[in-house]
A and B are shown apart, each in its own frame.
Chain A
Amino acid sequence: MGRKLDPTKKEKRGPGRKARKQKGAETELAKFLPAGGDENSKRLSSRARKRAAKRRLGSAEAPETNKSPGAKPLPGKLPKGAVQTPGKKEALSLFNIARGKKRPAPTHSSAEEEEDSEGDGVVNQEDLWGSEDSDAGMIDDYGAGSNSEDEDEDDGEELLPIERAARKQKAQEAVAGDQWSEAETDEEEEEEQVSAESGPREDEESEGGLQINVDEEEPFLLPPAGEVEQDTQAPDLQRVHKRIQDIVGVLRDFGTQREEGRSRSEYLQRLRKDLATYYSYGDFLLGKLMDLFPLSELVEFLEANEVPRPITLRTNTLKTRRRDLAQALINRGVNLDPLGKWSKTGLVVYDSSVPIGATPEYLAGHYMLQGASSMLPVMALAPQEHERILDMCCAPGGKTSYIAQLMKNTGVILANDANAERLKSVVGNLHRLGVTNAIISHYDGRQFPKVVGGFDRVLLDAPCSGTGVISKDPAVKTNKDEKDILRCAHLQKELLLSAIDSVNATSKTGGYLVYCTCSIMVEENEWVVDYALKKRNVRLVPTGLDFGQEGFTRFRERRFHPTLRSTRRFYPHTHNMDGFFIAKFKKFSNSIPQSQTGNSATSTPTNPDLPNVNGQVTPKSESGSPSTKKAGQAKQRLQKQQHPKKSSFQKQNGISKGTDTELSTVSAVTKAQASSKLQDSSQPPETAAVVREPKEAGKLKQHSPKLQSFRKAAFRKQHAPPKAMDTDLPAAPSLSKTQATPKPEDRDQPFGNTTGAEKVKQQVAEQPFKKAAFQKQNGTPKGPKTPTMSSRSSSQPPPAKRRKSQSRGGRQPALTSVDG
């Protein structure tokens, strides 16, 4: 079912196959550049011409009976399109016309004329490209959302330096290449036959131009439901694909193209089903993706997931330089290029005559195979020398070794992973790459602040659903459902909190945390980050990556903190790297806000960001409709009753929030999942209030411009935390404006409360601003973990050691001379 990566067919793809699929700037450009049809005729090689002729013969022979019901759902036949005669198809130049026609309208308009000429173009192009590496596997997806661009890209592809280099390098391949292309041709012809059978359109074109032409002007009609059912028995991918295009086209211009009496949702439903069939996605994931992307982008995304990402490797600067490595690899017959402007160590491999994972250079640890997207979080983390860094989920050690290399093997890295099996690869990789400053441990990440804390920087590459790496693991398409996503999200929240707790905010150089996932789900990214913003004294800072798309600040019914704009999303179809999400936090206080844990929830909040709550809630209570208010009051009572229990429970747990959530929610995982639906449903009454928040946030920001807050943060660093808290107050609001509102949802849902917002309101009413500040002063000592962390970190660079090393330095020369 559906179109899949077929390994057997993939084998036959020629050199530059991957390169061809890469969409960089050229692709983008190609979209805009007008391409003349004439250039195609020039590009026809003699062989291609022969094959084109052969094909024409073949298609002419194709029996009329092959006319499948494929075209039937498009009933009305108008004599209008008589312009196109079957004879046309015979003339080569007309192929080009067909192509030329297609080019100006690469976005698949629903006009049938274009579709047809395109369909024609498919076959022809195969001929054109047969001599190179047209591959049979690709015929299916021809004309998919991104395909016409692919075609354009192909044109440019010829000129790519990679290809030229490859050809130069292997002159003898010319012979082999012949054979190879011969094979290609065979395969292609087979394919043609197949397509002739499965895709009746071509046949029709060759036989009855009249019919086709009739279809051409016909607007796309959504097939009735009954017919759809038939389809599912043995879905004809060609048709499905066609329909996808059509529906996308219709939806793009719904007002004029729609069929009378059909609603948008009907179209969408049809599209969803078709996409699920064609790309073999599960219904759930596809729905999520449809929420995430606009339709045209969605098709591109799905298409990109069918193609593997280019192989990239990272130079291990501990052992070699990129130039040397590139030279060494080129000498071994590897075809590579620098990865991009943004990376000084990355190389992208186009093709290789040797296994790239088993060269002597690889075994000597001169490079690491690593996806481009995996380098980004480390670059965002920007580790400095002599720091103490925690990599919470480190397997298989790619990012860890990158950190080590940026630190030049100084300082300490604690590489942790919960999976013992995967740690083996970490050990191997780190040793191979010559990383000597790493400790590898095997803890559950959630235990972290308890084991060791006070790190300058923490990298949390959280376990996720892997929706960004579908091209690597297509199983994700079907095996994920709502539960999995929420389970991941839950784990991620726990991990993120303990990661934040492990950071030492008073670190001179650091205090940063990078959170990343290889998922593109909002639940696992923005939602988690937003949650952490509410829960801890952290703020988002720019990742330092100058590309990638901004994170969402609003997604469907959810509203996130406005600073989520500084997070970055990466997609396979736009950046040609795995789907990825990166957020960088700066921790500005070691104290843990207590409002949610309920230690003093009702009467004495120690939460430093309460002023924010204040500022933010007041407008809400104003805007709150009477009905919600009432409900809120009623719920407040409930809340009060529940709180004592909760708080006592939390007191027992005492130390860290992370563990608390862990304990309390382990059983609540399922609850959380169940209640997540509740959550959604409970959202609407609140959204009215929440929507206003960005404005509020804006106001608050004016009060505390960033510069100010930075200065203050710096000031605080010099002083003892409790004192600094006061000065920090103005900075805090900028941090967590929207936070309070959604927070209760996240937290309280598992406990069956939907009254979070009301609760906060209540708190706010009870505590005046001053009190909050006072509490904050108290708050610092309350966080039991923080003092120890800071003391530990301060004891980190012991002066004694330096003295020792100096004395040793004195001795050193003598020894070397002996040696020499």
Chain B
Amino acid sequence: MRPLTEEETRVMFEKIAKYIGENLQLLVDRPDGTYCFRLHNDRVYYVSEKILKLAANISGDKLVSLGTCFGKFTKTHKFRLHITALDYLAPYAKYKVWIKPGAEQSFLYGNHVLKSGLGRITENTSQYQGVVVYSMADVPLHPQGEKDLLNTHCLHGGEIYLHLILTSAYNGSTITYYIRNEMDIQGPGANSPSTSTAGALSRPHTPTPQDSVSVSL
């Protein structure tokens, strides 16, 4: 566990700012205590200083996670946001998209949202703008199985729809992906179950064995 280097901080902040703009400031300076970013196992954790103090007692190899995981640095030093950061980004998001209840489920299962499913959208949302998607009840949504935070871009064109640009391994629409792939949030030793970039609709996705597993009654 260590603080981020300057370069890492810049890369990460750029990414976060894509979603929440200058509200980023609010994440760093909080009224309820000092919060900071720490790098552990290539993951970036957003954690209160209080917690950090206690965590300092724990040796690196025994530490699994602390606070909230915001995302990770790839081997090429790009930063990928994780859905676990959604709770922090959602309140501050600059550009929001609300989708209708009908389209909600389909979106959650990893499909695009057609224009008809679009409830509201922040004005002036430009093309390729990072947005946070909400249900009409203001619950931030993310497609199940998408381990990176929505890299949702807003395309303006003949038919406006939200297009999920799936930058990372997209593992089909298993609803339990999130639960089944905790290791991805956790860190190394984690084996990403599939590296195929199967698109949501356009490309056929090959369900891994995990897909069939679902927590059910």
CA distance A360 to B57 in the complex (A): 37
Instruction: List the B residue with the shortest CB-CB distance to A453.
Output: B57
Q: Which of A375-383, A726-734, A801-809 contacts B (4 or more CB under 8 A)?
A: A801-809
Known: A358-B176, A805-B32. A451 touches B58 (CB 8 A): yes
CA distance A297 to B48 in the complex (A): 51
Question: Which of chain B's residues have a CB closer than 8 A to the CB of A411?
Answer: 50
Q: Which of A421-429, A511-519, A679-687 contacts B (4 or more CB under 8 A)?
A: A421-429
Instruction: List the A residue with the shortest CB-CB distance to B29.
Output: A808
Is the beta-carbon distance between A412 and B50 smaller than 8 angstroms? Answer: yes
CA distance A401 to B216 in the complex (A): 21
A811 beta carbon closer than 8 Å to chain B: yes
Question: Which of chain A's residues have a CB closer than 8 A to the CB of B29?
Answer: 808, 811-812, 815
Is the beta-carbon distance between B62 and A436 smaller than 8 angstroms? Answer: no
Q: Which of B2-10, B152-160, B179-187, B199-207 contacts A (4 or more CB under 8 A)?
A: B179-187
Closest chain-B Cβ to A341's Cβ sits at a distance in Å of 25
Per a CB cutoff under 8 Å, which of B58, B62, B217 touches A352? Answer: B217
Per a CB cutoff under 8 Å, which of B25, B62, B105, B215 touches A360? Answer: B105
Per a CB cutoff under 8 Å, which of B68, B87, B182 touches A425? Answer: B182
Is the beta-carbon distance between A363 and B63 smaller than 8 angstroms? Answer: no
Closest chain-A Cβ to B6's Cβ sits at a distance in Å of 23
A226 beta carbon closer than 8 Å to chain B: no
A819 beta carbon closer than 8 Å to chain B: yes
Instruction: List the A residue with the shortest CB-CB distance to B108.
Output: A360
Is the beta-carbon distance between B62 and A441 smaller than 8 angstroms? Answer: yes
User: Using a CB-CB cutoff of 8 Å, which residues 346-375 of chain A contact chain B?
Assistant: 349, 351-352, 355-358, 360, 362-364, 369
Closest chain-B Cβ to A591's Cβ sits at a distance in Å of 22
Question: Which of chain B's residues have a CB closer than 8 A to the CB of A804?
Answer: 33-34
Question: Which of chain B's residues have a CB closer than 8 A to the CB of A443?
Answer: 58, 62
Known: A363-B175, A427-B185. A808 touches B214 (CB 8 A): no
Question: Which of chain A's residues have a CB closer than 8 A to the CB of B58?
Answer: 414, 439, 441, 443, 451-452
Is the beta-carbon distance between B182 and A414 smaller than 8 angstroms? Answer: no
Is the beta-carbon distance between A431 and B66 smaller than 8 angstroms? Answer: no
CA distance A388 to B31 in the complex (A): 21
Is the beta-carbon distance between B33 and A358 smaller than 8 angstroms? Answer: no
Is the beta-carbon distance between B92 and A819 smaller than 8 angstroms? Answer: yes
User: Using a CB-CB cutoff of 8 Å, which residues 55-85 of chain B contact chain A?
Assistant: 55, 57-58, 62-69, 84
CA distance A811 to B29 in the complex (A): 9
User: Using a CB-CB cutoff of 8 Å, which residues 20-57 of chain B contact chain A?
Assistant: 22-23, 25-26, 29-34, 47-51, 54-55, 57
Per a CB cutoff under 8 Å, which of A357, A412, A431, A436 touches B185? Answer: A431
Closest chain-B Cβ to A353's Cβ sits at a distance in Å of 9
Instruction: List the A residue with the shortest CB-CB distance to B180.
Output: A428
CA distance A355 to B47 in the complex (A): 34
Question: Which of chain B's residues have a CB closer than 8 A to the CB of A414?
Answer: 54, 58
Per a CB cutoff under 8 Å, which of A358, A360, A439, A805 touches B63? Answer: A439
Closest chain-A Cβ to B138's Cβ sits at a distance in Å of 12
A252 beta carbon closer than 8 Å to chain B: no
Per a CB cutoff under 8 Å, which of B57, B105, B179 touches A432? Answer: B179
Is the beta-carbon distance between B176 and A808 smaller than 8 angstroms? Answer: no
CA distance A429 to B139 in the complex (A): 19
Is the beta-carbon distance between A363 and B144 smaller than 8 angstroms? Answer: yes
User: Using a CB-CB cutoff of 8 Å, which residues 116-152 of chain B contact chain A?
Assistant: 139, 141, 144
Closest chain-B Cβ to A530's Cβ sits at a distance in Å of 32
Is the beta-carbon distance between B34 and A424 smaller than 8 angstroms? Answer: no
A225 beta carbon closer than 8 Å to chain B: no
User: Using a CB-CB cutoff of 8 Å, which residues 172-198 of chain B contact chain A?
Assistant: 175-176, 178-179, 181-183, 185-186, 189
User: Using a CB-CB cutoff of 8 Å, which residues 319-369 of chain A contact chain B?
Assistant: 349, 351-352, 355-358, 360, 362-364, 369
Is the beta-carbon distance between A819 and B68 smaller than 8 angstroms? Answer: no
Question: Which of chain B's residues have a CB closer than 8 A to the CB of A436?
Answer: 47-48, 67-68
CA distance A439 to B189 in the complex (A): 19
A83 beta carbon closer than 8 Å to chain B: no
User: Using a CB-CB cutoff of 8 Å, which residues 638-662 of chain A contact chain B?
Assistant: none
Per a CB cutoff under 8 Å, which of B34, B141, B183 touches A801? Answer: B34
Is the beta-carbon distance between A424 and B186 smaller than 8 angstroms? Answer: yes
Per a CB cutoff under 8 Å, which of B54, B139, B179, B217 touches A388? Answer: B54
CA distance A15 to B181 in the complex (A): 32
CA distance A411 to B53 in the complex (A): 12
Which range holds the interface residue count of chain B? 35 or more
Is the beta-carbon distance between B26 and A451 smaller than 8 angstroms? Answer: no
A280 beta carbon closer than 8 Å to chain B: no
CA distance A816 to B30 in the complex (A): 11
Is the beta-carbon distance between B57 and A451 smaller than 8 angstroms? Answer: yes
Question: Which of chain B's residues have a CB closer than 8 A to the CB of A429?
Answer: 179, 182
Question: Which of chain B's residues have a CB closer than 8 A to the CB of A352?
Answer: 217
Closest chain-B Cβ to A686's Cβ sits at a distance in Å of 43
Instruction: List the B residue with the shortest CB-CB distance to A328.
Output: B137
Known: A439-B66, A452-B57. A805 touches B33 (CB 8 A): yes
Is the beta-carbon distance between A452 and B54 smaller than 8 angstroms? Answer: yes
Closest chain-B Cβ to A129's Cβ sits at a distance in Å of 23
Is the beta-carbon distance between B214 and A440 smaller than 8 angstroms? Answer: no
Among B84, B182, B214, B216, chain A packs the most CB atoms within 10 A around the CB of B182
Known: A431-B68, A440-B64, A808-B30. A424 touches B182 (CB 8 A): yes
Question: Which of chain A's residues have a CB closer than 8 A to the CB of B104?
Answer: 360
Known: A357-B215, A358-B175, A436-B68. A442 touches B62 (CB 8 A): yes
Closest chain-B Cβ to A358's Cβ sits at a distance in Å of 4
A489 beta carbon closer than 8 Å to chain B: no
Question: Which of chain A's residues have a CB closer than 8 A to the CB of B176?
Answer: 357-358
CA distance A811 to B31 in the complex (A): 8
Per a CB cutoff under 8 Å, which of B57, B69, B139 touches A364? Answer: B139
Question: Which of chain B's residues have a CB closer than 8 A to the CB of A423?
Answer: 64, 186
Closest chain-A Cβ to B201's Cβ sits at a distance in Å of 20
A66 beta carbon closer than 8 Å to chain B: no
CA distance A815 to B27 in the complex (A): 11
Closest chain-A Cβ to B108's Cβ sits at a distance in Å of 6
Is the beta-carbon distance between A438 and B66 smaller than 8 angstroms? Answer: yes
CA distance A430 to B45 in the complex (A): 14
Instruction: List the A residue with the shortest CB-CB distance to B186.
Output: A427
Is the beta-carbon distance between A441 and B63 smaller than 8 angstroms? Answer: yes
Question: Which of chain A's residues have a CB closer than 8 A to the CB of B55?
Answer: 439
CA distance A805 to B31 in the complex (A): 5
CA distance A38 to B216 in the complex (A): 41
A549 beta carbon closer than 8 Å to chain B: no
A211 beta carbon closer than 8 Å to chain B: no
Closest chain-B Cβ to A201's Cβ sits at a distance in Å of 37
A818 beta carbon closer than 8 Å to chain B: yes
A86 beta carbon closer than 8 Å to chain B: no
Contacts from A to B (Cβ < 8 Å) = 311, 349, 351-352, 355-358, 360, 362-364, 369, 388, 411-412, 414, 420, 423-432, 434, 436-443, 451-452, 801, 804-805, 808-809, 811-812, 815-816, 818-819
Contacts A/B (CB < 8 Å), 11 sampled: A356-B217, A360-B108, A362-B215, A363-B179, A423-B64, A428-B178, A428-B181, A429-B182, A436-B47, A440-B66, A812-B29
Besides A358-B214, A429-B179, A431-B69, 14 new A-B residue pairs in contact (Cβ under 8 A), listed by A number? A349-B217, A352-B217, A357-B215, A360-B108, A420-B189, A427-B65, A428-B179, A431-B68, A438-B51, A442-B62, A443-B58, A801-B33, A815-B29, A819-B23
Contacts from B to A (Cβ < 8 Å) = 22-23, 25-26, 29-34, 47-51, 54-55, 57-58, 62-69, 84, 87, 92, 104-105, 108, 139, 141, 144, 175-176, 178-179, 181-183, 185-186, 189, 214-217
User: Which A-B residue pairs are the 10 nearest by beta carbons?
Assistant: A357-B215, A428-B182, A355-B216, A440-B64, A424-B182, A440-B65, A358-B175, A431-B84, A809-B31, A439-B66
